[in-house]
Amino acid sequence: MNFKNDVEALDALRNKFDELTKEIGKVIYGQDEVITQVLISLFSRGHVLLIGVPGLAKTLLVTTIAEILGLKYNRIQFTPDLMPSDIIGTEILDNERNFKFIQGPLFANIILADEINRTPPKTQSALLEAMQEKSVTAAGQHFELDKPFFVLATQNPIEQEGTYPLPEAQLDRFMFSVWLDYPKYEDEITIVKNTTSTLDVDLKPIITGKEIRYYQELIRKIPINDNVLKYAVELAAKTRPNTEKAAEISNKFLKWGAGPRASQYLVLGAKTHAALHGKYSPDIEDVKAIAPSILRHRIIKNYKAEAENISVDDIINKLL
């Protein structure tokens, strides 16, 4: 990629984003905002937790994205009997009676962690090092994972019997928590029409792993004004009850607020959102656009909020 300057490179990124959304739109209908947030997370080096009832094409979205990115992709179906070695890998004795490490499904560029809350904490925690450090430790050895490394986890908000809710420490590793809603009536007509016919969509790879790594570095070089940076940090600080910057609504309805990782992701997400929408530096509107998905899984309501049926999104909207 030989660009004359960063402005030219950002223009190329915007064009790639348009191509990616157009190609994904051949298969996924009515989920434009979700697609945008997944791509923002990818270019920000984040991970995404997709929450929605069965049948909303969460898995199809991930497989479609993997196909057009041209990256190695593995799906892990999380179940109650899944062990850490099942996803990281294990040592075996080969024919010459030497120990040999067999890589697990984590050794890929894109990981679909399907129904992540169906597996015990021990196996959920096996993802932590991979998500944060982009590496794993197995049998006393350290293994670097291929880059880019991108985890998309799905979770079903109903049927909670026999599930293991993700602890806050692991939720914090996800850049975005994205809620998928039912499609609009017109979109559902299109979905049903296209999926009950012989229509076969031929997807083509749009971007390479090398290009993704280049654009990930480019995002971090984007300048940001001090007032936008301070707005992002202050927004996260406002969620922390009984602290200096706490908002009144946080003191009233929240038990815990978002930590510094939220501030980091607000800035990175705003930079990426700006770049993908044709801007060369983020503004406060870019922070606001990505704030709900970054904050909603990082703040915890108190009993008063539960009693008054105040949702997390209600609180975030008031803060914005």
Say yes or no to pLDDT of 98 above 90: no
Those residues whose C-beta lies under 8 Å from the C-beta of residue 280, and which sit 6 or more positions away, are: 7, 10, 222, 274
Residue 306 is predicted with a pLDDT of 87
Residue 160 is predicted with a pLDDT of 63
Say yes or no to pLDDT of 289 above 90: yes
Residue 115 is predicted with a pLDDT of 87
Say yes or no to pLDDT of 216 above 80: yes
What is the mean pLDDT of the segment spanning 190-208?
Answer: 79
What is the mean pLDDT of the segment spanning 254-277?
Answer: 93
Residue 119 is predicted with a pLDDT of 85
Say yes or no to pLDDT of 71 above 90: no
Residue 161 is predicted with a pLDDT of 64
Query: With bands split at pLDDT 50, 70 and 90, how would you rate the model's confidence at 237?
Result: very high
Q: How far apart are CA 141 and CA 143, in angstroms?
A: 7
What is the mean pLDDT of the segment spanning 263-284?
Answer: 93
Query: With bands split at pLDDT 50, 70 and 90, how would you rate the model's confidence at 1?
Result: low
Say yes or no to pLDDT of 199 above 90: no
Say yes or no to pLDDT of 233 above 80: yes
3-state secondary structure the chain: CCCCCHHHHHHHHHHHHHHHHHHHCCCCCCCHHHHHHHHHHHHCCCCEEEECCCCCCHHHHHHHHHHHHCCCEEEEECCCCCCHHHHHEEEEECCCCCEEEEECCCCCCEEEEECHHHCCHHHHHHHHHHHHHCEEEECCEEEECCCCCEEEEEECCCCCCCCCCCCHHHHCCCCEEEECCCCCHHHHHHHHHHHCCCCCCCCCCCCCHHHHHHHHHHHHHCCCCHHHHHHHHHHHHHCCCCCCCCCHHHHHHEEECCCHHHHHHHHHHHHHHHHHCCCCCCCHHHHHHHHHHHHCCCCEECHHHHHCCCCHHHHHHHHC
Residue 32 is predicted with a pLDDT of 84
Average pLDDT across the chain, whole number: 86
Say yes or no to pLDDT of 20 above 80: yes
Residue 37 is predicted with a pLDDT of 92
Query: With bands split at pLDDT 50, 70 and 90, how would you rate the model's confidence at 159?
Result: low
Query: With bands split at pLDDT 50, 70 and 90, how would you rate the model's confidence at 310?
Result: confident
What is the mean pLDDT of the segment spanning 79-93?
Answer: 86
Q: Give per-residue burial for 43-72: e unless 16+ CB within 10 Å, then b.
A: bbbbbbbbbbeeebbbbebbbbbbbbbbbe
Residue 230 is predicted with a pLDDT of 94
Domains of the chain, each with CATH number or no CATH: 6-194 (3.40.50.300), 222-319 (1.10.8.80)
In terms of pLDDT, which residue wins out, 257 or 168? 257
Q: How far apart are CA 184 and CA 209, in angstroms?
A: 34
